[in-house]
Structure 1
């Protein structure tokens, strides 16, 4: 476990994050940790186009490691960009994200899988240039998942602790439904909602449609796009390459 933590810290220094992103390619996450002693590595971009400008990552690097049979360690180290309407683009290191996913219950015939995935973002980005929040944010969610044949649904929500002048703590909730159409293709859709995260902000209800393509058992492409149904986000977009590997493990 110590070696895994040191490896993640080393990757952070090598790549030296913007907003916190959840389960690729969606905002909503699932309770399933990376299998024990397995790795997930992502090279991706996730971007928002809003009224008044745009922001995102180009790229961000994500690493997940199965440190214990039910425990996953998590790291995101993006290069962030921010472009207010009518202004130039700022680019640089954003806010670092750390987390640990722990599965509380495995899926049964009736019961869903249940897990927690607390996250913390560290203020490593330049707040004055729009590349970071300027404070530590903490997310404490509960996620559930259930499968029926080729269909899988997961979702839940949690509470964001969002300090800072003009900010307020807020709730996020979301659900994903996806179907495995073949050995190499899965398609899914997401619906999510957040209450205002600032004193003068509004609520957001949005959706994303996505695809997961398996080139090989180790190489994967993930893509999604969507928009707000109510709110000021015109477009959300995610594109990522995922590399997975680890020792043979029958107990996923």
Structure 2
């Protein structure tokens, strides 16, 4: 599994850097970027997302807080509520998995040629018995970014999720190419893959399109849609994400 994931990362990474010719990244995409929130500033996302499978539709809504705590260091806390709408009937709501994370950028483009950061993310047990996982898990990823002039940027990477007994649950990887199409409008395309997890969920591959519109210096609208390509009926026929971003 590990060798297959490495080969996949090398292949899609090569495609990305050959086809992509500064921009903001991370949300609305599944893949993240290595750029932390500016020191002393906040980025707050009010979001909703969802994924449809043959079992029904599920997703989350909540608030994602990001603070630039120091140079190259971002602290993150995500407070979500989850929902499920089963195909067999019945909708359920409840607290989902609170996320705590810290992004640290340790390499810069002006010195290394790429920006590189680690972004470990801890998922706390939901405790609701309705939505979210009832156990803790930890995502350990590394993210890389390269800007090409004033309009194009490319970022991606991935990592593995560990559950509370420290065994690998699954690994994920993704790549994104972004283009500043207008002064206030940015669009991008993403290729994302997750391996099968330890509880029987099959591997998943998807392709998505995301956009960001800057209403002002402090208010921004983000959206994203993606389509499942592998085992879509079980892992996601289609997914979406929408948020209002407040920056100050």
- TM-score normalised per structure 2: 0.84
Aligned pairs for 1:124-143 within 5 A: 124-127=126-129, 129=130, 131-143=131-143
> In structure 2, do the counterparts of structure 1 residues 109 and 101 end up closer, same or farther at CA, with 3 Å as the change threshold?
closer
Report whether the alignment pairs 1:84 with 2:123.
no
Count residues in correspondence. 219
Aligned pairs for 1:30-69 within 5 A: 30-57=33-60, 59-69=61-71
CA RMSD in angstroms comes to: 1.7
Q: Cα distance, 1:85 vs. partner?
A: 1.7
Assess if the C-alpha contact under 8 Å between 2:45 and 2:63 holds in 1. yes
Match of 2:193 in 1: 193
Assess if the C-alpha contact under 8 Å between 1:162 and 1:197 holds in 2. no
Assess if the C-alpha contact under 8 Å between 2:160 and 2:168 holds in 1. no
Match of 2:237 in 1: 234
Choose 138-147 or 230-239, whichever is displaced more: 230-239
Assess if the C-alpha contact under 8 Å between 1:205 and 1:230 holds in 2. yes
Aligned pairs for 1:34-183 within 5 A: 34-57=37-60, 59-108=61-110, 111-127=113-129, 129=130, 131-149=131-149, 150-163=151-164, 169-183=169-183
> In structure 2, do the counterparts of structure 1 residues 68 and 238 end up closer, same or farther at CA, with 3 Å as the change threshold?
same
- TM-score normalised per structure 1: 0.83
Q: Cα distance, 1:202 vs. partner?
A: 1.1
Q: What do the CA deviations read for 1:93-118 (whole angstroms, capped 9, x no partner)?
A: 11100000000111137611000000
Structure 1 runs not aligned, ≥5 long = 1-21, 246-252
Choose 142-151 or 78-87, whichever is displaced more: 78-87
Q: Cα distance, 1:143 vs. partner?
A: 0.3
Q: Cα distance, 1:183 vs. partner?
A: 1.5
Q: Cα distance, 1:201 vs. partner?
A: 2.2
> In structure 2, do the counterparts of structure 1 residues 23 and 125 end up closer, same or farther at CA, with 3 Å as the change threshold?
farther
Match of 1:15 in 2: none
Q: Cα distance, 1:198 vs. partner?
A: 3.3
Helix, strand or coil: the match of 1:198?
A: coil
Helix, strand or coil: the match of 1:31?
A: coil
Assess if the C-alpha contact under 8 Å between 1:106 and 1:113 holds in 2. yes
Q: Hey, what's the Cα distance between the residues in 2 that align with 1:184 and 1:139?
A: 32
Q: Hey, what's the Cα distance between the residues in 2 that align with 1:174 and 1:36?
A: 27
Moved over 6 A (4+): none
Q: Hey, what's the Cα distance between the residues in 1 that align with 2:132 and 2:225?
A: 23
